[in-house]
Amino acid sequence: MKKILEQSVKYLFTASGFITSFIILLIIFFLFSEGAGLFRNHIIDDGYVVALNKSNPVNTLSANQIKEIFDEDITNWQEAGGEDEPIQVFRLSDLLSIYSEEELGSEYEHAGSKIKETILQNEGIIAFVPKSLLTDTEGIKTMPDQTIPVKDVLAGTEWFPTATPSPLFGILPLLAGTLWVSFFAILIALPFGLCVSIYMSEIASEKVRNVLKPVIELLNGIPSVVYGFFGLIVIVPFLQQLFNLPVGESGLAGSLVLAIMALPTIVTVAEDAMRNCPRSMREASLALGANKWQTIYKVVIPYSISGITSGIVLGIGRAVGETMAVLMVTGNAAVMPTSILEPLRTIPATIAAELGEAPTGEAHYQSLFLLGVILFFITLFINLSVEYISSRKR
Amino acid sequence: MNKLNVLLFCACLWATTATAQRIKGSDTVLPLTQKLAEAYIANHPGASVTVTGGGSGVGLSALNDHTTDIAMSSRSISFGEKMKLKQKKTEVDEIIIAYDALAVIVHPSNPVDKLTREQLEGIFRGKITDWEEVGGNKGKIVVYARETSSGTYEFFKESVLENKNYMSSVLSMPATGAVIQSVKQTKGAIGYVGLAYLNPQVKPIKVAYGNTGYYAPTVENSIEKKYPIVRPLYYYCNSSDREKVEGFIDFILSPAGQQIVRESGYIPVTNNP
């Protein structure tokens, strides 16, 4: 009877282990398949075409060029590799300002032929219209159906996921923003974290430690949105006054909030590592005539360096993946960061803010999954480094 | 006796499923829908309305999966979403339940109190960067917008920027409350919020489209069609399920429902609520 029970418990554990791993693999597979779907989308919105007059020598336009043309930043075909001719932008809604309701028919059944007429009459036109309305393409040149190039996504510097006719999914500013904020967060958290952990493990009396440790661990239990709120109401206006900035929402505000959030992780792990330094080693050091400070930095820190490093890397991991607090204080401007005092945008904040409203299964939705994949690789790299560092020496 | 109980139970179940309706979607329409649902339930004992947010995209995809009866949306349905519904052979009805005006707001200490559409376009596209250029004091303009996927962002782009894109360095905020908080504490700030959210901590700007003169964002000006930045708020439902939700929608479009719309700071669909 006892044996059967033991066996069944064993199977239960094995099964739960396998099921958990399987589910995790399934989630990762889902993430990757959705993310990769982005590259199967076309640079122009589904169901629409960008059409030119046949006499126009321009054959292909990049997503970026299309955006600049429709933004009227490029106004002459010469700038897009064509002849010296002004560009005339045409959207479906412009149809009503050219033709009257009667001309288009009661159910707009003449819309297709009128669009064609407009394109044929204007040599410098670029039209963005539904595919279904432009069935007859005689004398009209439509842009080739390119899929979104990998290069434009991974090396693109502009994030305009909802731009029409061609959205831009350059992830570089978001990636740079994430790393930039995390780097400064760790730069701030590191010295403080180390000081506190050394103080707690080596200098503080038992009584002080018993008070301090729960307080620092309490920091870990505060929800991140509370940190974000604190950051928005206190840190942001403070930085604005301190540096006399036009705008307080900045990378530095994000870094400060993240540093406070990463502190407990760093302190707890590093302090545990230092406390694990055997008493015999400290006593040997003291017996050789070293004073307390020399013992700390010549014996205790070198002995526990791998534990301290894991604490730091785990802190970085927390900073990289943090969403809510950063979303609230960094200003979320998708620009390449040039200084820490300017607004920037991180990957987790982008996903959190945009996923709710993005149409399911379309390019924008999939691009957010791709961002998830990239975040997955960053944290994977961080976790692997923790494994490597903590297994190095003991 | 037992048989009767079962019958009664079935009847109750049938009655609740017949009038229970699930509404999901845009967070902009959410507070209004909640108020309307409360009033509707008070008038129709036994009816049950469940309202959840999540975003326009969430609501419309839930409509496609049949996990909601009505999708609230602050933007019209996209071409791609329409195609998806067509593939499933479902037709959707579009109902405009109210209009929402967008107010352009600045810091209360800003002397600028009116702008033209062209000036707004210049500011949000990064062509005008100093308040001096539009008649204010010298100082950098800090531009706040909503998230790229929000219906508010899309509508402002359509109406004020004439479909051109915002500059890339615009600060995008996750919620209307965050825009107000940031504009309140930033001297050179400009942003936009729904009329219902306007409060005395920020200053609304008078706007002019063309040569019609400057108009302040108020419910009265919007009803009279003088204030130009006004957008429709939509409900979408499957045409085949229309009967199920007809009662609630009729209530919203009735004078009593439109009175609630007006009291909540939105603009009624009909001119005389």
Pairing of strands B20-25, A159-160: unpaired
Residues of chain A with pLDDT under 50: none
**pLDDT tens digit sequence for A58-94:** 888 888 888 888 888 888 888 888 888 888 888 877 7
Domain boundaries for CATH 3.40.190.10 within chain B: 6-99+233-271, 100-223
CATH topology of domain B6-99+233-271: D-Maltodextrin-Binding Protein; domain 2 (3.40.190)
What is the rounded CA–CA span in Å between residue A299 and residue A306? Answer: 13
* Domain ranges (residues) in chain A: 48-147, 172-391
Residues of chain B with pLDDT under 70: 1-19, 79-80, 149, 271-273
> What is this structure's pTM?
0.81
Which residues partner with B235 through β-bridges? B72, B95
For residue B273, what pLDDT is reported?
Answer: 39
Restricting to A residues 178-237, those with a Cβ less than 8 Å away from any Cβ of B are: 232-233, 236-237
Handedness of CA A145, A147, A153, A154 (dihedral sign): negative
Residue A69 contacts B where some CB pair is shorter than 8 Å? no
Q: Do A353 and B172 count as a contact with CB atoms less than 8 A apart?
A: yes
What is the rounded CA–CA span in Å between residue B235 and residue B257? Answer: 14
The residue of A357, A362, A367, A368 whose CB has the most chain B CBs within 10 angstroms, and thus the best one to mutate to test that interface, is A357
Restricting to B residues 100-139, those with a Cβ less than 8 Å away from any Cβ of A are: 125, 139
Pairing of strands B114-116, A168-169: unpaired
The helix or strand, by DSSP H or E, that contains position B51, with its residue range, turns out to be strand B48-52
**pLDDT tens digit sequence for B159-179:** 898 888 899 889 988 878 888
The residue of B138, B140, B148, B236 whose CB has the most chain A CBs within 10 angstroms, and thus the best one to mutate to test that interface, is B148
Instruction: Tell me which residue in B168, B171, B181 faces A331 most closely, judged by beta carbons.
Output: B171
Nearest chain B residue (CA) to A359: B57
Q: Do B186 and A248 count as a contact with CB atoms less than 8 A apart?
A: yes
For residue B84, what pLDDT is reported?
Answer: 76
List CB contacts (< 8 A) between A354 and chain B.
147-149
The CA distances from residue B219 to A88, A267, B114, in Å, are 37, 55, 18
Nearest chain A residue (CA) to B78: A359
| Among candidate residues A59, A62, A56, the one with its CA nearest the CA of residue A42 | A62
Q: How close does chain A come to B182, measured CA to CA in Å?
A: 8
CA contacts within 13 A on the Cβ side of A250: 25
Q: Do B142 and A47 count as a contact with CB atoms less than 8 A apart?
A: no
**CATH code assigned to A48-147:** 3.40.190.10
Nearest chain A residue (CA) to B80: A46
For residue A234, what pLDDT is reported?
Answer: 92
For residue A177, what pLDDT is reported?
Answer: 93
For residue A106, what pLDDT is reported?
Answer: 65
For residue B19, what pLDDT is reported?
Answer: 61
Predicted complex ipTM = 0.79
What is the rounded CA–CA span in Å between residue A393 and residue A303? Answer: 9
Q: How close does chain B come to A328, measured CA to CA in Å?
A: 7
The residue of B65, B125, B132, B171 whose CB has the most chain A CBs within 10 angstroms, and thus the best one to mutate to test that interface, is B171
Alpha helices in chain A (DSSP H): 2-36, 63-70, 95-98, 101-104, 111-121, 150-154, 172-198, 206-221, 224-230, 236-242, 251-275, 279-287, 292-295, 301-303, 305-321, 324-329, 347-354, 363-392
For residue B16, what pLDDT is reported?
Answer: 45
List CB contacts (< 8 A) between B67 and chain A.
none
In angstroms, how far is the first alpha carbon of chain A from the final one? 43
- Which CATH number applies to B100-223: 3.40.630.190, 3.20.130.10, 3.30.43.10, 3.40.190.10? 3.40.190.10
For residue A21, what pLDDT is reported?
Answer: 95
Between chain A and chain B, the number of residue pairs with CB atoms below 8 A apart is 118
For residue A393, what pLDDT is reported?
Answer: 59
Q: Do A332 and B151 count as a contact with CB atoms less than 8 A apart?
A: no
CATH topology of domain A172-391: MetI-like fold (1.10.3720)
For residue B271, what pLDDT is reported?
Answer: 56
Q: How close does chain A come to B149, measured CA to CA in Å?
A: 5
Restricting to B residues 176-195, those with a Cβ less than 8 Å away from any Cβ of A are: 178, 181-182, 185-189
Residue A338 contacts B where some CB pair is shorter than 8 Å? no
The residue of B152, B163, B181, B190 whose CB has the most chain A CBs within 10 angstroms, and thus the best one to mutate to test that interface, is B163
For residue A107, what pLDDT is reported?
Answer: 64
Q: Return the structure tokens found at B143.
A: 């531009």
Residue B207 contacts A where some CB pair is shorter than 8 Å? no
For residue B3, what pLDDT is reported?
Answer: 55
